[in-house]
Amino acid sequence: MSPTEALSRGPAVWALAAGQMLGFACQFFVFAGLVLFWHEDLGWAKSTLALGPMLALLVGAAFAPLIGKVVDGGRGPELMVFGAMIGVVALVLMSQVQTPVQWALIWMLLGIGQLSSQYEVCFAFLIRRLGRDARRAIIRVTLVAGFASTVSIPAYTALAQGQGWRFALMTGAAVMAFGVVPLNWWGTRRIRAGAPPPVAAPAPPIGSGTRSRRLWLLAVMFSLSGLSHWMIAHLLIPVLVGRGYSQELAVFAAAVIGPAQVAGRFALMYSEARISNARATLLTLCAMFVATTFLALSGAGVGMVIAYVLVQGAAIGMTTILRPVLIADMLGAENYGANAGRIQVPSMVINAFAPMIGALLLEGPGFGALVGLSLGLILISVLALHALRST
């Protein structure tokens, strides 16, 4: 067994997986878990609250190319630790928020923490240090991290109901400080020490030919399919409550997405030798279309709600793995961090508006417009994938 294969199966990868799960739980899913409590206690409109995650993604988009180059330069471990520490500070500050201006500034800080410590930096680091064995490590990371929403949303809800949302945020900050920071520190340094030095092989320039076309098609596909998902997922609890379901059932449905992601990743791992990354991506987009149709029919009964979260969760779970490997397939593994950073810019800018778009649609034309736009975005993503496979 090669050193990189041993590392891809070893405790360092599982440490990073646990760090990713807790990091997503504390930082990324905080909005979904606490949005109703903020709305009720602070009295702000959902669109004002949604401005926070939007600004976090916009700040992330501004720094994504730079972050990618830093990882390509060998500083992934430092970034993952530093980003988690920023997350600690941001959650502590958020627990004391009083005004919309403070809210906006804190989310911008949290955006830097998220970008520096979560999936994209972690995947770029693994691809850089483990080479072909990175896919195995990425699958393990995403299998564990897929439980983030399952842990986070019920935990934040229970803490907010019992001790208030400010206490819930302080608890999240403590988990980041005493869980995520040491896990990221130990896992990345163990891999850095055990893996052979990465081969410095410069990638061909993106230019204006086939590689440029592939880059932009990848950006369009991941941006629009991500927008289709997140403008609903960030507001799934209010959406279901608005459809007449109890808050308890809505929280349960949102929490089921996590295990469904893990199930989808197991399915992808099982079929890895039988299906190409591009074809698997097409199947996930089709599954997202079917899932959104189930949500559109959610008024027919709770069975449609469960069908939505199971199918949608599985599709998003597979997309998390397919995104980095498809980028590497189409653009090469060399300079993966920089290429992924370029693709992230339009993706994060567009997806930054997902919670805001979802909130405005719910407060304006309503639920039908929300699911209609979601279905349209998936269809455009399918067309982009078709064009990508033809290049």
The string of DSSP letters for 118-130 reads: SHHHHHHHHHHHH
Token pair for residue 167? 């206490």
Residue 198: predicted pLDDT: 72
Given a cut of 70, whether residue 46 has pLDDT beyond it is yes
Region 227-241 average pLDDT: 88
Token pair for residue 157? 């809800």
Average pLDDT, the chain: 87
- Model confidence pTM above 0.75: yes
Given a cut of 60, whether residue 205 has pLDDT beyond it is no
Residue 204: predicted pLDDT: 53
Query: What tens digit of pLDDT does each residue of 77-100 get?
Result: 999 999 999 999 999 999 999 999
Query: What tens digit of pLDDT does each residue of 137-192 get?
Result: 888 898 888 788 778 888 999 999 999 999 999 999 999 999 999 999 999 999 99
Residue range 3-198+207-390 forms a domain whose CATH class is: mainly alpha
Token pair for residue 324? 């980095």
- State the residue for tokens 């990371």: 141
Given a cut of 60, whether residue 201 has pLDDT beyond it is no
Answer whether 173's CB lies under 8 Å from 165's CB.
no
Complete DSSP assignment for 324-346: HHHHHHHH-STTHHHHHHHHHHH
Region 213-227 average pLDDT: 91
Query: DSSP state, 235?
Result: T
Domain ranges of the chain: 3-198+207-390
Given a cut of 60, whether residue 206 has pLDDT beyond it is no
Of the two residues 133 and 371, the one the predictor is more confident about is: 371
Q: Give the helix, strand, coil percentages of the chain, each rounded to 5.
A: 85, 0, 15
